[in-house]
């Protein structure tokens, strides 16, 4: 009886469900009951997603972290081998002794191949059947991780009880809606609806510093990127007019990518100077959205010509090269997202269809069709992929948020009472309303909610979160920007108390 805690228990709820539409019947048990879905314990509330979520929380819990050294000792350490194979009696005491062929180096296969080829092949088959332990790396007990309560942890890792807002910042000389905000290294970037780009100096400070950032505005660093947007005032065809949103821009390592221009181009610009680097015209209609992988190696673009293109980007040569074109949409593409971790490109079109392709070779995987409460497709204007493999999308025409598994199963949906303009995915998924930043949905499994910032006098048009998730920038329709940081007062008190206990 071999029972193995396979990785699927921590990330894949689908393996617990038997879909009769895609799988053969499994038959019936002796009592006549049909063999169907896996029977879950009561604490899972008959939800495979909840079952997997709780397993993942347990795996990442403090208890597991504090006992992880025992597992290291068994697999890689001093409890791996019994005395017969150069180990110690600790392996025997821990009931960690297996068949001799499972141990690395227990048999000299090279010599055996020369002396007895038949026994050599038999031994190989037996090793393949039994498996093999990894090489022993440690010969002394692995130290236990220090208790979190005994460590003055880096302050940015602590959770705050609230947010602290700072006076408004004027990033642009024009009072136009801030369409895009970004913190790129030591630069803070703001772009308005007229393509005016402003670049300012940014420096993040430790949370115990007041304020925990330095923002130096530079009115002189200001330029207009590309050619005008394909808005209703520019194009004569309403269906080709681009929707102005933050998905028209991306910043990465002092580079600015932009789209939505009336000439169907994607433009690469030097961020600090505004110098044009490259102009790409591969699409046959207006490019409506772009997305970049976290490492900056691939750019994905969606267009009103119903296609999605994947580009390889080389930071050194500052050039983009087309890799493959993705087809399948029957209407113009409205939003895209990409992930190297999951090797997927997810795109949506005006008809409310989500299509998933592989990033590496552009292979079609599946189609997802979110439906509203009235079973009608909704025009999707934003899509995102979380670190846990959940697809979050927003239907503008029905004001509905959808949460899907990466395999296309709908996990949740909610109708919001206001039109949403700005979205940002953190390590946990939180979506906020347009004016008052009231929390609508939270999919992080925690009941703890940070204090929401006060309401604004103007609509929110853009959001930006620093890479360490310690600074939130909010761009408004009147051109103002606000910066919020976690309330670090209790962190400073805790640090001072720890230093006092240490004698400082």
Give the model's pLDDT for residue 306: 93
Give the model's pLDDT for residue 435: 37
Give the model's pLDDT for residue 256: 92
> What are the pLDDT digits (tens) for 384-395?
998 888 898 888
> What are the pLDDT digits (tens) for 9-32?
988 888 888 875 556 777 888 888
Mean pLDDT of 470-485: 86
Q: Is the pLDDT of residue 343 over 90?
A: yes
Number of domains in the chain: 1
Is 419 part of any domain? yes
CATH code assigned at 253 = 2.130.10.10
The more confidently predicted of residues 357 and 376 is 357
Is 410 part of any domain? yes
CA distance between the termini of the chain: 58
**DSSP of 354-410, one letter per residue?**
EEEEETTT--EEEEE--B-TTS-B--EEEEEE-TTSEEEEEETTTTEEEEEETTS-E
Give the model's pLDDT for residue 437: 37
Is 475 part of any domain? yes
Q: Is the pLDDT of residue 500 over 70?
A: yes
Q: Is the pLDDT of residue 453 over 90?
A: no
Q: Is the pLDDT of residue 356 over 90?
A: yes
- Dihedral sign, Cα of residue 110, residue 116, residue 117, residue 120: negative
Is 101 part of any domain? no
Please say whether the beta carbons of 370 and 395 come within 8 A. Answer: yes
The domain in which residue 462 lies consists of: 183-429+455-499
Q: Within 13 Å, how many C-alpha atoms sit on residue 413's CB side?
A: 18
**C-alpha–C-alpha distance, residues 107 and 410, integer Å:** 52
Tokens 């019947």: give the residue. 25
Which phi and psi (to 5°) does residue 27 adopt?
90, -165
Is 398 part of any domain? yes
The CB density around residue 268, as the number of other CB atoms within 10 Å, is: 19
**C-alpha–C-alpha distance, residues 377 and 243, integer Å:** 19
Is 295 part of any domain? yes
- Top mean-pLDDT range of 203-217, 351-365, 421-435: 351-365
- Three-state SS sequence of 37-76: CCCCCHHHCCCHHHHHHHHHHHHCCHHHHHHHHHHHHHHC
> What are the pLDDT digits (tens) for 136-165?
898 999 998 876 656 544 433 444 556 777
Is 163 part of any domain? no
Is 347 part of any domain? yes
């Amino acid at each position: 009886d071999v029972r193995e805690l396979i990785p699927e228990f921590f990330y894949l709820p689908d393996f617990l469900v038997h879909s009769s539409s895609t799988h053969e019947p499994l038959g019936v048990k002796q009592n006549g009951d049909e063999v169907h879905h896996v029977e879950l314990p009561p604490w899972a509330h008959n939800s495979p997603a909840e079952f997997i979520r709780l397993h993942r929380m347990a795996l990442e819990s403090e208890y597991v972290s504090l006992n992880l050294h025992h597992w290291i000792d068994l697999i890689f350490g001093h409890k791996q081998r019994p005395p017969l194979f150069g180990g110690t009696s600790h392996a025997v005491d821990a009931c960690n002794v297996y068949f001799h062929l499972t141990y690395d180096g227990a048999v000299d296969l090279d010599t055996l191949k020369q002396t007895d080829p038949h026994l050599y092949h038999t031994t190989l088959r037996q090793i393949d059947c039994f498996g093999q332990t990894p090489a022993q790396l440690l010969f002394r007990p692995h130290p236990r991780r220090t208790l979190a309560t005994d460590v003055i942890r880096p302050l940015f890792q602590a959770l705050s009880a609230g947010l602290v807002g700072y006076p408004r910042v004027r990033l642009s000389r024009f009072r136009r809606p801030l369409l895009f905000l970004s913190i790129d290294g030591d630069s803070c970037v703001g772009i308005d609806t007229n393509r005016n780009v402003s670049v300012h100096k940014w420096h993040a400070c430790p949370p115990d510093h007041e304020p925990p950032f330095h923002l130096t505005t530079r009115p002189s660093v200001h330029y207009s990127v590309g050619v005008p947007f394909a808005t209703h005032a520019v194009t004569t065809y309403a269906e080709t007019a681009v929707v102005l949103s933050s998905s028209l821009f991306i910043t990465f390592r002092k580079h600015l990518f932009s789209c939505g221009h009336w000439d169907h181009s994607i433009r690469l610009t030097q961020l600090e100077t505004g110098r044009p680097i490259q102009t790409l015209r591969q699409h046959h209609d207006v490019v409506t959205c772009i997305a970049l992988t976290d490492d900056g190696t691939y750019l994905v673009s969606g267009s009103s010509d119903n296609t999605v293109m994947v580009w390889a980007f080389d930071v050194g040569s500052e050039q983009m090269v087309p890799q493959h074109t993705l087809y399948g949409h029957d209407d113009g593409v409205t939003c895209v997202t990409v992930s190297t971790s999951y090797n997927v490109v997810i795109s949506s079109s005006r008809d409310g269809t989500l299509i998933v392709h592989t990033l590496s070779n552009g292979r079609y995987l599946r189609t997802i069709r979110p439906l509203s409460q009235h079973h009608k497709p909704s025009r999707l204007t934003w899509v995102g992929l979380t670190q846990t493999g959940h697809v979050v999308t927003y239907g503008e025409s029905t004001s509905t948020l959808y949460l899907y598994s990466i395999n296309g199963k709908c996990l949740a949906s909610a109708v919001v009472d206001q039109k949403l303009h700005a979205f940002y995915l953190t390590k946990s998924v939180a979506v906020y309303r347009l004016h008052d930043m009231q929390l609508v949905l939270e999919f992080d499994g925690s009941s703890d909610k940070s204090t929401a910032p006060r309401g604004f006098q103007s609509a929110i048009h853009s959001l930006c979160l620093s890479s360490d998730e310690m600074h939130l920038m909010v761009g408004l329709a009147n051109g103002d920007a606000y910066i919020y940081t976690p309330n670090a007062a209790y962190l400073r008190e805790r640090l001072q108390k720890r230093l006092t206990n240490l004698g400082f």
